[in-house]
Amino acid sequence: MAATDASPGGTATRGTRLIGAAAFVGVAWLVAFGLGFSPADRDQRESVRILYVHVPSAWLAYLAFVVTAVASGLYLFRRRHSLAWDRLAGASAEVGVLFMGITLVSGMLWGRLTWGVFWEWDARLTTTAFLFVTYIGYLAVRRLGGSHEQRARRSAVVALLAVLEIPLVHWSVVLWRSLHQEASVIRPDGDVKMDGLMLFTLFVGIVAFTLLYVWLVIHRQRTLTAEDALDDAGLDAAIAARRAEAVTAPEAV
Amino acid sequence: MEDAGFIIGSYVITFGAIAVYAWRVLRRSRRITTRVPDEAKPWT
Amino acid sequence: MESPVVELDGVVAVLGGFPALAGATLTVQRSEIVLLRGPNGAGKTTLLRVCAGLVPIARGQATVLGCDLAVDRAQVRPLVGLLGHRNGLYLDLSVQENVRFWGATVGATPLEVDAALERLGLAGRLAGLSVRRLSAGQQRRTALACLVARRAQLWLLDEPHAGLDAAARDEVDATLRQAAAAGATVVVASHELERAGALATRCVHVVGGQIEAEPVPR
Amino acid sequence: MTSWRIARLVAGKDLRIEWRSRVALNQVLPFAAVVMVMFAFALDRLPRPAGAEDSLLESVAPGLVWLASLFSLLLLVQRAFAVETDDGALDALRVARVDAGALFWGKTLALAAQLAVLEALLLVTAVLLYGTEVRASGVVLLIATWVAATFGLASVGTLYGGLAAGARGRETLLPLLLLPVVAPVLIGATRAVEAALGTGGTAIADGWPWVGVVAVFAVVFGAGGTLAFGPLIDE
């Protein structure tokens, strides 16, 4: 990344400032269109506005976990175990958990207005909640300590196991929900038909959230790189100190 | 706007949470990167 | 000259960011009993665990029993016996069951198991006792019997004499001499200087994560 | 030494330790029974609804049996790895380079054996305490669920137990990692047993797709465990 001005401190470069600015504009547009310009929905009236935040954050959360899984796979199966993949997996999982939390909260608010109840055990929401808890567990595994390689290997395996788990959970939850055929009239499941300005707003939302995701992951990944580098940099100093210990140690018996 | 509390609330929670997380990441990165030599930072 | 059993060259091993070994160089030939001496925290335990292939090597070169540890640490492990502060035994099982289990991991025959028990003076009544009820010395001897049953070629012992009375220490020393005589190689980290000094064929001083060779005290 | 023999060796060792120490028998089984009683305290407040042939407890009995099994699974897994880390045996296993897949299957088989006995006793407890009736026609389905769920839970328990073994804060890490993962088994096994027992009028045929879910879970985590166990417990 040929950054013209060396950053005084922090992980910003011209590229991230660009993405950050674009993300900010995207969010501004999303709020303007989402709350202001876009019309109310025929059936759901105003509550559809929450979807402009709920749906993009859900998509980006799933994207984040796909990135984590792919990065973990690359770390494990690539000859050159470069830790950059592991740090990307960690950064993406962290942002993914943030977005998944937002998805769940906004989903509950939307559910309260549309279905009259905060939580509805529908297949998608249940799988989302399951993913949220699974990746909180993943982040807990990342903090288990040990060398960077150990952390990377252990987290990569847990991330791949989590991916293995998603279809299983989804399948069993869908099968489970199909037992509840109670005909609920207004249950558009958020797949409300959107067109014109509403669809545009949703599109703005997805673009804004993607920019936010990229911007956050880049910064977080660089911070993790710096943290690892801090450990390693400390290593050379520690080795020197260790060697000095040998010189100064009184000639033991 | 009807149910404004919930709707605006969802936007505030969403972008509030993202802002807090972003601020914590940037604060930590500013604090750490000064103590790390430049060659360890591929982006500089 | 046969290739050395252990060949470390400038090995750096990091535990939680701390360089327990900071450039250790050591060569050990077959049937030697090498004594590692040095203050606490000098890196003796890490050195043993590196030779056992348990700790990744950050820098430097390490070959044990013909296996290059930088490439594949796991390959060397079945040939090595590591006895640390903890004996690695199943406390609820009896002495014999423990030795039979560890022997079985390399397919040792019941005869070999009995021979190992015999050698450590654990045959008869002791063999049937649950390890939990044994004294520290008897537990240590059981752990050594497991090493014998596992046909370990390289014995890595961390303070084997700790917590033992004089008689038990003699037995440990006798076992080590027998193992070395039978072609195994022994590396002992110990604070019992006068005793271990007499036992060791060579003495090495470990401090600050590095090794300084020393003439044999005798 | 074929890995199958090592797996049998490890399983034999684990079961012998359990036979000697009787921790599962004297502590985990009573715990499971207490959990079933606590469920009754918490849930059994309504008189049998008019017309319905099942009381509340009877209609949720399958779910409670599997819930009690899951909580007991946590204790059994922690015990299975406490045995290894008590005196540093896990390190010794690493040094002996016991093949990780064989070690995984050894621990899983031993755990499955204990879990199977525990689940059977829990079903008996449900019959005694909750008035559940086991109908003959549902027995085959019941046994199929029992086997599939036991293997699924045992393999995932061993896998995440190995990950948490020796780690700081493992007591709280294990439930966080394990309980979400076993959700498909909890859902599948409960529905399958409901079908087997005919709770709430469910037909036997409805149970078999659920046994499929649980069986796929067991296969996936059996294979996944064999591959992932090595890297997870390796130093």
ipTM for the complex shown = 0.81
Instruction: Answer yes or no: do D180 and A171 touch at CB < 8 A.
Output: no
Number of domains composing chain D = 1
| Domains detected in chain C | 6-214 (3.40.50.300)
Give the pLDDT mean for C128-139.
Answer: 88
Q: What is the DSSP letter of C7?
A: E
Give the pLDDT mean for D45-57.
Answer: 74
**Statement: residue D233 has pLDDT above 50:** yes
D219 touches A: beta carbon within 8 Å: no
Closest CA to D87 of A143, C179, C46, C146: C146
Mean pLDDT of chain A: 82
Q: What is the pLDDT of residue D96?
A: 74
Closest CA to C29 of C180, C190, C217: C180
Give the pLDDT mean for A63-91.
Answer: 90
Asked whether at least 3 C-beta pairs link B and D within 8 Å, the reply is: no
Length of chain D: 235
Instruction: Answer yes or no: do B34 and A216 touch at CB < 8 A.
Output: no
Query: CA of A221: how far to CAs of A7, A68, A90, in Å?
Result: 16, 12, 8
Q: What is the pLDDT of residue C194?
A: 66
Interval D70-80: pLDDT, tens: 999 999 999 99
Mean pLDDT of chain B: 86
Instruction: Find the closest chain D residue to C130 by CA distance.
Output: D20
Instruction: Answer yes or no: do D94 and C104 touch at CB < 8 A.
Output: no
Q: Which helix (H) or strand (E) holds B39?
A: none
Q: What is the pLDDT of residue A192?
A: 59
The CA distance from A222 to A158, in Å, is 22
Q: What is the pLDDT of residue D92?
A: 83
Highest averaged pLDDT of the listed ranges A85-99, A125-139, A157-171, C44-58? A85-99
Instruction: Answer yes or no: do A7 and B44 touch at CB < 8 A.
Output: yes
**Statement: residue D38 has pLDDT above 90:** yes
Q: What is the pLDDT of residue C193?
A: 66
Interval D73-109: pLDDT, tens: 999 999 999 999 888 888 888 777 678 899 999 999 9
* Structural domain that includes position D143: 3-233
The CA distance from C157 to A112, in Å, is 66
Helix (H, G, I), strand (E, B) or coil at D52: coil
Residues forming a β-bridge with C204: C36, C213
Instruction: Answer yes or no: do D181 and A134 touch at CB < 8 A.
Output: yes
* Chain A nearest C-alpha distance from D6 (Å): 24
Instruction: Tell whether the torsion through CA atoms of D64, D67, D68 and D69 is positive or negative.
Output: positive
Please give the single-letter amino acid code of residue A236. D
Instruction: Answer yes or no: do A153 and D231 touch at CB < 8 A.
Output: yes
Q: What is the pLDDT of residue A249?
A: 56
Q: What percent of chain A has pLDDT over 90?
A: 34
Interval A4-52: pLDDT, tens: 344 456 778 888 888 889 999 999 988 888 887 777 777 777 788 888 9
Q: What is the pLDDT of residue C137?
A: 82
The CA distance from D78 to D157, in Å, is 9
Length of chain B: 44
Find the chain B residues whose C-beta atoms sit closer than 8 A to any C-beta of A: 1-4, 6-11, 13-15, 17-18, 21-22, 25-26, 28-38, 40-44
Interval C85-104: pLDDT, tens: 888 899 999 999 999 999 98
pLDDT band at A253 (very low <50, low <70, confident <90, very high): very low
